[in-house]
Amino acid sequence: MHISERKKTYELVELPSVHRKRHRERTRLSSLFTRLFLEESKAYKLAEKINIKSQRIQPAFISDWKTENIDSIAGKNISANFKIDRASDTDLQRLFDYFVQKNLAPFHPEDRSVGRMKESIYQFFYKQLGMVKWDHFREMISITLSEDNRIHFEAVIDAAKRTYILATEKLEKELVSEIWEVPERLTFGEGYIETSMRESIMEPFYSNERWRSEKAFIDFLERQNNKVAWWFKNGDRDATFFAVPYKIGDNLAPFYVDFIVMMKDGRIGLFDPHGVHLADFSSKSRGLQEYIAHLNKEGRKVFGGIVGNTDPRHLKGQWMVYRDTKKPVQENDWNGWARLDV
What pLDDT, on a 0 to 100 scale, did the predictor assign at position 166? Answer: 84
* Cα distance between residue 1 and residue 336, in whole Å: 43
Helices (H) and strands (E) in the chain, counts: 9, 15
Q: Same structural domain for residues 73 and 209? A: no
Q: Please give the average pLDDT of every successive group of 10 residues along the chain, which has 342 residues.
A: 94 94 71 93 95 82 65 46 60 89 88 93 95 91 92 95 84 83 92 91 89 90 95 92 91 93 97 72 90 97 93 88 71 80 86
- Which DSSP category does 200 fall into? B
Same domain, 51 and 70: yes
Tell me how far CA of residue 43 lies from CA of 34, 118, 141, 257, in angstroms. 14, 19, 22, 47
Q: Are residues 66 and 136 in the same domain?
A: yes
For residue 61, what pLDDT is reported? 79
**Domain encompassing residue 155:** 28-172
Query: Within this chain, do residues 149 and 272 fall inside the same structural domain, yes or no?
Result: no
Query: Per-residue pLDDT tens for 141-197?
Result: 999 999 989 999 999 999 999 999 888 877 667 788 999 999 999 998 888 899 889
Number of domains within the chain: 2
Instruction: Quote the CA–CA distance of 221 and 229 in Å, as a whole number.
Output: 10
Tens digit of each residue's pLDDT (9 = 90 or more) over 99-158: 999 899 888 888 889 999 999 999 999 999 999 998 999 999 999 999 989 999 999 999
Does residue 66 sit in the same domain as residue 15? no
User: Are residues 186 and 325 both part of a single domain?
Assistant: yes
Quick one: which of 205, 171, 214 has its CA closest to 315?
Answer: 214
312 and 205 in a common domain: yes
Check: CB of residue 229 under 8 Å from CB of residue 264. Answer: yes
As a whole number of angstroms, the distance between CA 258 and CA 267 comes to 17
